[in-house]
Structure 1
């Protein structure tokens, strides 16, 4: 009997795997996108998506927001955190070098690195221990559990970018500065926005200066404290609400193998078919003219409209 034919997607996977294993594609290099695979191998989009999904399942590639699918770095083995002294009866349980590797800042930094590159779902005590090349249980001497680690991660990244000591004199400039700095933090760390809770706020000390900044600014310009704090929550949740799309997009790209532009291209025929019915003339005109979706522009547009709405509530001398 003749051998069973190898599926087309398997042959493409094998070819890309060969390129990665031989170093032709190095860690961090972009691998062909689904669109490039369909063009180069003459296969359907579904087949191209299956190729990248298989390579991700094997741990050979990973999705990077704003970049695409890249070759993943080789995983490193976890080494037991044990020293010569620890092997001797009565010796200390951890050598100084291990203790240095397990300094709290190192643990938090490793966790943030994983979350920044692969998403919050990839963060686990075991994964962080692997990054530090120590035994998983060693981490529990420094952090209580994953929730404790997450709180420390959020506190750490916010502490790295403090607000200036002297705020601008105008209320609007001061609020804009804080809101844009928060947005920049969300941009730097896509996992941060969905990790933060409004209904069950975590105790993040480095986040309190943001609350104090907005509260003091708006109260000094005419708002009572309750209204000022409500305005602060509104502004914070506005920025957070847009920013959650960053992590959602990362997850969607990892699952589908398509970046946002490729996904929109795939949806275009169905959209044009609906618009062709003539039921949505305004949307049809917009589609014909083109629309460049930009989260930064969306954030800035909404921020200005929110501040326009706050202006009448503040004293007239500072409302401009």
Structure 2
């Protein structure tokens, strides 16, 4: 593993400076791909978390950007000079729990949960690592605070739409949108042992209230609420893997599938996949995470509607969508 350089410089800053120099010298030109996180781990003998910090720092400073289908590339035009962390006329804001949590979220958004450690947060804030423990007791508490803040950044609306189905659909779409912004978040949320975080509990409260007045017993209402939340989280766990694969390969999902056609055809020719071969021969299918989410959400709510209608009885007078 790489050690700190002269003056205690963290490895990720030293490696970022090397890439920055290559850009300044014109070795890497606008639009050129820069080494991926996995390439950096191989070339410099660093952990994947450190490699993601390299790219996150360059992205923050404006030297690179993530481009769908190309991975991380040199940004067009001259980048702004790096901002000094020490000195200058403007004093840094006082260290606070909010700053620690927000910095951790930024690290996770850029490089996943593996990029979040107390040492890396301290390096980002240019403070001593031990000073962070005055605001969070450790990484576990920090991760929960990150999840609570991420959910709190997109609060559910005060006004509720009419009908149980519209309310549950709104909740599911709000969670899906939050997971898309913070791809690490579904890996934090637990269904088996739900965390006691305020904004997470607000989502459960919303789901339970949506099925009020429908003649459903408490067992059914709890299961409906938790199953919906678990469904959205389950699909969302794939978002981070997809983004990492795109960054590492520089290929979109469609481009990757196109490159697998030859292997796919060989497997089909070997036999044993008659149904897949028949359906594939009928034409292409639009199948991605968003379409799977939409299809599954509607079918799940259709199932809820059937159970609600059965609970209402033949003379209940409750519409499946009310």
Q: Which residue of 2 aligns with 1:157?
A: 150
Q: Which residue of 1 aligns with 2:108?
A: 115
Report the Cα offset of residue 257 of structure 1: 6.1
Q: Which residue of 1 aligns with 2:6?
A: none
Matches within 5 A, 1:258-273: 259-273=252-266
Q: Which residue of 1 aligns with 2:204?
A: 211
C-alpha contact 2:71 2:248 (8 A) present in aligned 1: no
Structure 2 counterpart SS, 1:220: coil
C-alpha contact 1:120 1:191 (8 A) present in aligned 2: yes
Q: Which residue of 2 aligns with 1:291?
A: 285
Report the Cα offset of residue 287 of structure 1: 3.1
Report the Cα offset of residue 281 of structure 1: 3.7
Q: Tell me, in whole angstroms, the C-alpha distance in 2 between the residues paired with 1:131 and 1:153.
A: 16
- String of CA shifts for 1:89-115, please: whole Å, max 9, x gaps: xxxxxxxx56x3312111111111111
- String of CA shifts for 1:58-82, please: whole Å, max 9, x gaps: 5465795956421589999987xxx
Q: Which runs of 5 or more residues in structure 1 are unaligned?
A: 1-15, 34-49, 84-96
- String of CA shifts for 1:240-289, please: whole Å, max 9, x gaps: 00000012223444566655344433432121112124543432244341
Structure 2 counterpart SS, 1:200: coil
Structure 1 counterpart SS, 2:183: coil
Structure 1 counterpart SS, 2:211: helix
Q: Tell me, in whole angstroms, the C-alpha distance in 2 between the residues paired with 1:102 and 1:52.
A: 29
C-alpha contact 2:68 2:250 (8 A) present in aligned 1: no
Q: Tell me, in whole angstroms, the C-alpha distance in 2 between the residues paired with 1:185 and 1:174.
A: 17
Report the Cα offset of residue 20 of structure 1: 3.0
Q: Which runs of 5 or more residues in structure 2 are unaligned?
A: 1-18, 45-50, 57-64
C-alpha contact 1:78 1:129 (8 A) present in aligned 2: no
Q: Which residue of 1 aligns with 2:187?
A: 194
> Which deviates more from structure 2 when the two are superposed, residues 153-162 or residues 51-60?
51-60
Q: Which residue of 2 aligns with 1:305?
A: 299
1:319 pairs with 2:320: yes
Q: Which residue of 2 aligns with 1:132?
A: 125
Report the Cα offset of residue 227 of structure 1: 1.1
Structure 2 counterpart SS, 1:70: strand
Q: Which residue of 1 aligns with 2:3?
A: none
Q: Which residue of 1 aligns with 2:161?
A: 168
Cα 1:77/1:196, change in 2 over 3 Å: farther
Say which one has the larger Rg: 1
Structure 1 counterpart SS, 2:71: strand
C-alpha contact 2:33 2:70 (8 A) present in aligned 1: no
Q: Which residue of 2 aligns with 1:10?
A: none
Cα RMSD for the two superposed structures: 3.3
The number of aligned residues is: 271
